[in-house]
Copies of this chain bind each other. A is one copy, B any other.
Amino acid sequence: VEDRYGGVIVDDAMFDAEELLGGDPVAFARALDGSVETWRARGTRGVWLKVALERAAHVPVATSRGFVFHHAEKEYVMLTKWLPEDEASTIPANASHQVGVGAFVLDKETRRVLLVQELRGPAANRDLWKMPTGLLEAGEDVPIAAMREVMEETGIDTEFDTVIGCRHAHVGAFGKSDLFFCVGLVVKDGASREISIQPQEIAKAKWATMEEFLDNPHIEPGSHAWALHALCEKWANDEYAGIRANKLPLGFGRPGEVYTYVAHE
């Protein structure tokens, strides 16, 4: 498969299909060396090699031929080799970010907000009452993720209203960065306010007053969380419009829609 950068995507499964390899690292080494020569002669620049989990024996064969890791998912690892010796690699970077959501859930009837205590992780054991949070799943959008996390953690059915703000921090796991979207949600009309916690992740949950929410000893005055909390209150009081989430066509001839976040005008 020729990729759009003029490289070659070599999928381990393709070798299987062509019955070149079987499970034998020696045959794989022979095939790989031959292929690299062919690609080099053709002027191929970047070579991509996807090795399935069950073919992990091919990994040391590839690294001994100068392949380096690019990224991995549970079931495979992707390796790359940049062939031109007189040119810097233009192999695109690996994913660099996790994206999280925090859901500020307002019950407009009672003016109460939904807070949880986590069972594990850095926030546990600190008596920290916080808004429900979580990471986006693959392919998921911010408003959807916020509503899903609230449903999973507390059983409350909500509707998306606005993005209140977004924080960009370089403190994620494994040297990655994270983007955290703080989202304003309202309880769905007629939905139950009865909380049903997710016992694997959540120790406690409650409806709190705005005063309880704001009077949080873990939130340092002037910090980003303090600034977002203040905007949460303003939003709850209809004094802050937040950031709009518009679903718009992707464009450039490609099908599908994407969320575009812009300020209210």
Contacts and interface: CB of A to CB of B under 8 A. Distances in A.
Interface in A207-232: 218-220, 222-228, 231
A97 B94 contact: no
B224 A250 contact: yes
A120 B250 contact: no
Interface residues of A, number: 94
A138 B177 contact: yes
27 contacts: A5-B120, A5-B121, A53-B69, A69-B74, A72-B72, A90-B200, A95-B96, A95-B97, A96-B97, A96-B135, A138-B170, A165-B260, A165-B262, A166-B166, A167-B261, A169-B250, A171-B254, A218-B252, A222-B248, A227-B248, A227-B262, A239-B265, A240-B263, A241-B263, A243-B243, A243-B261, A263-B263
Interface in A48-64: 53-54, 56-57, 59-60, 62-64
Interface string A233-265: 010000111110010111111101011111111
B249 A222 contact: yes
A120 B88 CA distance: 14
Contacts of A265: 234, 239-240
A161 to B, nearest CB: 13
Given A92-B173, A231-B262, 7 more contacts: A69-B73, A71-B94, A96-B97, A99-B179, A138-B175, A139-B170, A240-B265
A36 interface: no
Nearest to A222: B249
